[in-house]
Each structure stands twice: as structure tokens, then as C-alpha cells.
């Protein structure tokens, strides 16, 4: 008898196939399937083998993807949620496997993504016995999965544990966790008995339509109508409301700045989109925030208040689906809880079109000038390659509908500033946790979710050496399954943990600490070739364009390794006195790269102020 029939059986009734689970694990996997889960990311171990047996028996229903590390599984589940809007699921074994998930799970939690983590545990009878790999997982996950973490001790709990973990992940847009002792995974499934103390849960979930009440909408409209210089700040929560944001910006004569997670929420091709905001932001965003008299914030929890108007300078309206996230970044006069699209739809008829377009014209002029600065900065020579040049050239060559992922190094600066995102593209990065290493796993998960689109990961050499190189092995394992194998990883090989090197200089006023910052020169492109992938290395600025064209036309996943200059400064949109002092004192203290840095910074400043 086949394995399938030893452990599961099907009954036919009224022309429908009902799945009858044998073990609790079979039940769990099927229940996840019934909740709509079609892919699970994870890594095995004896603490979770019962579930893996069930995944094997039901592999026609749920696609299991083996990741190179449990942290990848959590990043990929998070990316799945970010790019599809569905729940992402990851699975890991007890003890070390569960611990490895954590960073990716925090990434999901902090960026408000629904992710369910399923982890193994030692056998029920061993718990409390200081058994091997026994970690108090309920306590360990209590923070990251604070909305819902439970350990099953009876097969009769499995139904409601799955139902609640799924429902709470969706409803709260957060991480939930189910812990399964390994002996329980193989126990026959039992439905909850009809007795006192039994829980009878169900599955259906429909997203409610949430909008503020009419009076609050009218108050918000009045406030916005009274403003003369309106600025809008959007985040990932406005991604599905692009048309409405455009209408509101037009009516109010406003400019629109974007938090990093909202980079794809509005195309950069619009003349009034000021681009990113914050330390990695643009000058037009900075100027708009410093001069506006009204702030409308939509679907964003952008944290750096010093880049928002001063308290008292602007009157504010905030729209967010999550009531908990309202009114925490700026003292808003009106906080509206609601879906961004539906709320804006109700707000639009209440807005009066501003006839005075001076403010808007000023913003558009600032934006146009800024793009010239970006081009001028990109074209400055560097040793050997100016990273901004790579992003600038990539920008106009981005394939339609591509999915951009960025890591947390200096690439995030160039991603934020130099890439002109167009309609139909998606992008993400670790916005709130700002962890290293999501770039490659996000791109792989994007490929699984949208095989016909091209993910492009923008990653530093430090992140590649930390976890990214292992992702190449996973790509090797799976890429031939993808109907369209295009996937590009752009590696900035600067032999430095560059973002932090600049932070040491500018924020701390210290010189670069070679011991903590220097990286070895790893052959990323050659390594990709060794794995049978495409690998292209470029260290000559004259070859950037041809290398990009080759990489974008590659017929298999490609690593494009660009040897970039670590001394090109990721200048903030403005340098304040404190940062400038820190910067100079680092030079006085004898930074190993002082002379190169002075040259490159000088070129950047010249490009900023004398670009014409």
C-alpha cells in the first residue's frame, strides 16, 4: 500500500472529495491548504518531521520550498505576504531551527505582514526535563508573535490553533506561531469532542471595508481645503490607492513624498513626486516638509520626526488602516482610521480644487532640479565605479513590472534616490527592522509568487557574505522550474560594510574602523558561474551599460557584480552642523580613506550645487 493510503484516505461524497486526515500533521497541512496556503518555506529537523511527512503526502496541494537557512524561510514568507497580500507561512524544527526564524519574523512583524510560523518542539513527555534542543518556545516567540503563540498538547486543538493563527495573522497583519511537540505531530487527528471545554472554530475570513465616519471626513476635508501649502507623505499602505493619491494631490496642489516602503506606491515619473524622505531622502522632500503648512500622511509610519514639519508648523491629517499607528509621528489634528483607497474615495468629493498653483509649481521645479542633481552625481568619476552611476543607468532600463528588493546597506540609498519607479512595478525592503539580508530571499520569494516577472535584488557584499551567497544555492536548486528564469542580483562589491562606515564617520565623528568594516574581495560573479548561473563582473565605468544590458537579457538567473567605490558619500538631503562637525573631525582623526573621501565628497557637493 502506498504511503499516501497508509496515513490518509479520501472519501467521495456528493461528487466532492473530502480529505480525511489521519495524523494531526496531515490535518494541519490540509487545514492550511483550505485556508488558501499553496506554498510553505522552511527547513527540516527531527522536531518537525511529522509535519514534513504530511507535507510530503500532500505535496500536490502545497509546494514546499527548501530554504538555505530558517531565517530565509521567514524572510521569504514575509516577502510572499508583502508582494501578494496573502499570508506567508514558514516552518522550522525545534530549538535551533525555531531560533533561526526570529530575525525574518521580526522583519514581518515590524512591517505589518501576516506570517504564520510553524515550529516543532520536543516530545510532550520530555518538556521540563532540560532535554536536548528544549527551548521554551512559547516564551521565545512571545514578543514576535505577541498576538498569538500557542503550543498544542492535544490533537483536538489543531483545528482552532490553525484557524486562529491564520485569522489573527490576517486580521492584525502580524506574525503568529503554532508550536507542535514532535510526538503530537504523529498522533491520530481527533475532531473536538462535543463536551464542555471544547473549541469549535471555523475558517472563513472576509476583509472588512473600513472607512471613517462622515463627520470626521468632512473635518479632514475642511482642514485640507484651508491649507495653502499641502504636503503628502505616503507609505506601503497607499500602494493600492495610487489613483486616489494622484487625484488628491492634483486637487490640493500638493507634492507627494514617499517613505521607503512606499517607494512603489506612486511612480517617480510624476513631476510632483518628491521621492524618498529621511536620511536616504531627497532635497525636494526635505524642502516640502520644511515649508508646508499642511501635512496629509497616508498609510505610513515613517519614524524620523525630524524630517517632518516642526510641531506647530503644519496642521495634519493622517489616514491609516491600523488605529494603533495613528497620531504617533506628528501631532495630527485629525486621525482617520480606514483603508487608504476607500477613505480617499470618500474624501475626494469633499475637496476643493486649489486654484493657486504656486506651491505645486515650486515643488515641481525642485523635483526637476533634483533629478538633474542625481544625474550629475551619478556621472562623477569614482574609483573604480560610482555606485550611483549603476543605479542611474539601471533606472531607465528597468523591465516593466519588475519587482525590486533592496538590502539594508548603501544600496538602500541609491535604491531610494536614483531609481525612477514606474507604474506596475513593486518594491520592498526591510523598512522598520532595517535588517541586513532580506534582498536575496525577498527576490526569490517574489519569483515564486510571480514567475513571469523579473525580481531585481540590490545587495551589498556584506549581506551577500552574511547570507546572500547561500541564496544563490537555492536559486540553483529551483530556477529551472520557473517558466521565465529572469532574476537579477546586483552586488555592490565595495569590500566594506559601507553604510555603517559612513555612520561611524558622520554620526559618531569617528574614523573608519578597519577591523570592523573591511571585507574580503569575494568573487561573486565567479561563484555564480560555478553554480551554473550567469555571472558578470564589471570594474570599468565604460562597461556598466553593456553589463546591465547583458544582465537584463540573461536567460538564467544572473549575478551582476559591480566593483564600486566605498568613498562616495551617501549624503543626507541636508547636512546639519552636528553631522558636518562629525564628518570633519573624522578626517582629522586620520581616517584610512581620508583623501579619497575628501575628493569624492567634494565632487558630490559640486554636483549638488553646480550641476548646471
Backbone angles phi, psi at 540, to 5 degrees: -125, 120
Q: E strand or H helix at 41, and its extent? A: strand 39-42
How many whole angstroms separate alpha carbon 506 and alpha carbon 492?
A: 21
Q: Which of 251, 297, 317, 497 binds ligand TPP (CB under 6 A)?
A: 497
Tell me the CA distances in angstroms from 447 to 37, 45, 322, 454, one per residue in order.
17, 26, 29, 7
- Candidates 460, 471, 535, 569; binder of ligand TPP (CB under 6 A) is 460
The owner of cell 471595508 is 209
Residue 498 near ligand TPP by CB under 6 A: yes
d(CA 390, CA 374): 12
Stretch near ligand TPP under the rule CB under 6 A, chosen from 320-328, 373-381, 408-416, 584-592: 408-416
Strand pairing partners for 115? 88, 175
Q: Which does 463 bind (CB under 5 to 8 A by kind): Mg ion, ligand TPP, none?
A: ligand TPP
The residue within the footprint of Mg ion, chosen from 103, 498, 501, 511 (CB under 5 A), is 498
471 binds Mg ion (CB under 5 A): no
* CB of 108 closer than 8 Å to CB of 115: yes
Taking CB under 5 A as the rule, does residue 469 contact Mg ion? no
Q: How far apart are CA 463 and CA 470, in angstroms?
A: 11
Q: Which is nearer to ligand TPP, 364 or 496 (CB)?
A: 496
- Beta strands 16-20 and 9-13: pairing type? antiparallel
* Cβ-contact 292, 277 below 8 angstroms: no
Residue 565 near Mg ion by CB under 5 A: no
Binding status of residue 429 toward ligand TPP by CB under 6 A: no
**Site for ligand TPP (CB under 6 A): which residue of 454, 463, 472, 544?**
463
Which part of the chain contacts Mg ion (CB under 5 A), choosing from 8-16, 266-274, 488-496, 589-597?
488-496
State the distance between the two ends of the chain, measured CA to CA, in whole angstroms.
78
Contact pattern for Mg ion over residues 422 through 461, marking x by CB under 5 A: --------------------------------------xx
Residue 436 site contact among ligand TPP, Mg ion, none (CB < 5 to 8 Å, cut-off depends on kind) = ligand TPP
Query: Among Mg ion, ligand TPP, none, what binds residue 411 when CB lies within 5 to 8 Å by partner kind?
Result: ligand TPP
SS3 121: strand
d(CA 49, CA 64): 13
Among 408, 469, 474, 504, binds ligand TPP (CB under 6 A): 408
d(CA 23, CA 25): 5
Q: Which of these, 588, 539, 593, lies nearest to 562 by C-alpha position?
A: 539
User: Least distance to Mg ion from the beta carbon of 264, Å?
Assistant: 25
282 lines the binding site for Mg ion (CB under 5 A): no
- Say whether residue 517 binds Mg ion (CB under 5 A): no
500 near ligand TPP, rule: CB under 6 A: yes
User: Is residue 395 involved in binding Mg ion (CB under 5 A)?
Assistant: no
- For residues 206, 207, 213, 218, the Cα torsion angle rounded to the nearest 10 degrees is -140
Q: Provide the binding-site residues for Mg ion, judged by CB under 5 A.
A: 460-462, 494, 496, 498
Q: Provide the binding-site residues for ligand TPP, judged by CB under 6 A.
A: 407-411, 434-436, 460-463, 492, 494, 496-500
Amino acid at each position: 500500500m502506498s504511503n499516501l493510503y497508509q496515513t490518509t484516505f479520501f472519501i467521495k461524497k456528493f461528487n466532492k472529495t473530502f480529505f480525511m486526515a489521519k495524523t494531526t500533521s496531515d490535518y494541519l497541512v490540509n487545514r492550511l491548504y483550505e485556508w488558501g496556503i499553496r506554498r510553505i518555506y522552511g527547513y527540516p529537523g527531527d522536531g518537525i518531521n511529522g509535519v514534513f511527512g504530511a507535507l510530503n503526502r500532500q505535496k500536490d496541494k502545497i509546494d514546499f520550498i527548501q530554504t538555505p537557512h530558517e531565517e530565509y524561510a521567514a524572510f521569504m514568507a514575509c516577502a510572499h505576504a508583502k508582494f501578494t497580500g496573502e499570508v506567508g507561512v514558514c516552518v522550522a524544527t525545534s530549538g535551533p531551527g525555531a531560533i533561526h526564524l526570529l530575525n525574518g519574523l521580526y522583519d514581518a512583524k515590524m512591517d505589518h505582514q501576516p506570517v504564520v510560523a510553524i515550529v516543532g518542539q520536543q516530545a510532550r513527555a520530555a518538556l521540563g526535563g532540560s532535554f536536548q534542543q528544549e527551548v521554551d518556545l512559547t516564551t521565545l516567540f512571545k514578543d514576535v508573535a505577541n498576538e498569538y503563540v500557542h503550543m498544542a498538547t492535544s490533537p483536538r486543538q489543531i483545528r482552532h490553533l490553525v484557524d486562529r493563527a491564520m485569522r489573527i495573522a490576517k486580521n492584525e497583519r502580524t506574525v503568529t506561531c503554532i508550536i507542535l511537540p514532535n510526538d503530537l505531530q504523529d498522533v491520530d487527528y481527533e475532531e473536538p469532542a462535543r463536551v464542555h471545554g471544547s473549541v469549535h472554530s471555523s475558517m472563513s475570513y472576509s476583509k472588512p471595508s473600513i472607512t471613517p465616519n462622515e463627520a470626521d471626513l468632512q473635518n479632514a476635508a475642511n482642514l485640507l481645503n484651508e491649507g495653502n501649502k499641502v504636503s503628502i507623505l505616503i507609505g506601503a499602505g497607499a500602494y493600492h490607492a495610487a489613483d486616489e493619491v494622484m487625484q488628491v494631490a492634483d486637487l490640493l496642489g500638493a507634492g507627494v513624498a514617499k517613505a521607503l516602503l512606499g517607494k512603489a506606491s506612486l511612480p517617480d515619473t510624476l513631476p510632483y513626486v518628491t521621492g524618498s524622505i529621511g536620511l536616504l531622502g531627497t532635497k525636494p522632500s526635505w524642502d516640502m516638509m520644511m515649508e508646508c503648512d499642511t501635512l496629509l500622511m497616508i498609510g505610513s509610519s515613517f519614524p524620523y520626526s525630524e524630517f517632518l514639519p516642526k510641531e506647530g508648523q503644519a496642521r495634519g491629517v493622517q489616514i491609516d488602516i491600523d488605529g494603533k499607528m495613528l497620531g504617533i509621528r506628528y501631532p495630527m489634528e485629525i486621525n482617520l482610521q480606514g483603508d487608504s483607497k476607500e477613505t480617499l474615495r470618500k474624501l475626494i468629493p469633499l475637496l476643493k480644487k486649489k486654484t493657486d498653483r504656486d506651491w505645486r509649481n515650486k515643488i515641481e521645479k525642485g523635483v526637476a532640479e533634483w533629478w538633474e542633481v542625481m544625474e550629475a552625481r551619478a556621472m562623477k568619476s569614482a574609483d573604480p565605479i560610482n555606485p550611483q552611476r549603476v543605479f542611474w543607468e539601471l533606472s531607465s532600463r528597468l523591465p516593466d513590472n519588475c519587482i525590486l528588493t533592496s538590502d539594508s546597506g548603501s544600496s538602500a540609498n541609491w535604491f531610494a534616490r536614483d531609481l525612477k519607479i514606474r507604474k506596475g512595478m513593486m518594491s520592498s525592503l526591510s523598512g522598520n527592522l532595517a535588517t541586513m539580508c532580506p534582498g536575496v530571499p525577498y527576490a526569490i520569494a517574489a519569483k515564486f509568487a510571480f514567475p513571469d516577472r523579473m525580481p531585481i535584488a540590490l545587495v551589498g557584499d556584506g549581506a551577500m557574505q552574511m547570507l546572500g551567497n547561500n541564496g544563490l544555492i537555492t536559486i540553483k536548486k529551483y530556477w529551472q522550474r520557473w517558466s521565465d528564469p529572469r532574476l537579477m542580483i546586483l552586488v555592490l562589491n565595495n569590500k566594506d560594510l559601507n553604510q555603517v562606515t559612513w555612520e561611524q564617520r558622520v554620526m559618531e565623528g569617528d574614523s573608519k574602523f578597519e577591523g570592523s568594516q573591511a571585507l574580503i574581495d569575494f568573487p561573486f560573479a565567479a561563484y555564480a558561474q560555478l553554480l551554473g548561473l550567469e555571472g558578470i563582473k564589471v570594474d570599468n565605468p565604460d562597461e556598466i551599460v553593456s553589463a546591465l544590458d547583458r544582465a537584463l537579457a540573461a536567460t538564467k538567473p544572473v549575478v551582476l557584480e559591480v566593483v564600486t567605490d566605498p568613498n562616495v558619500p551617501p549624503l543626507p538631503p541636508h547636512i546639519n552642523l552636528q553631522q558636518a562637525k562629525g564628518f570633519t573631525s573624522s578626517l582629522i582623526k586620520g581616517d584610512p580613506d581620508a583623501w579619497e573621501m575628501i575628493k569624492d565628497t567634494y565632487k558630490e557637493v559640486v554636483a549638488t550645487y553646480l550641476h548646471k
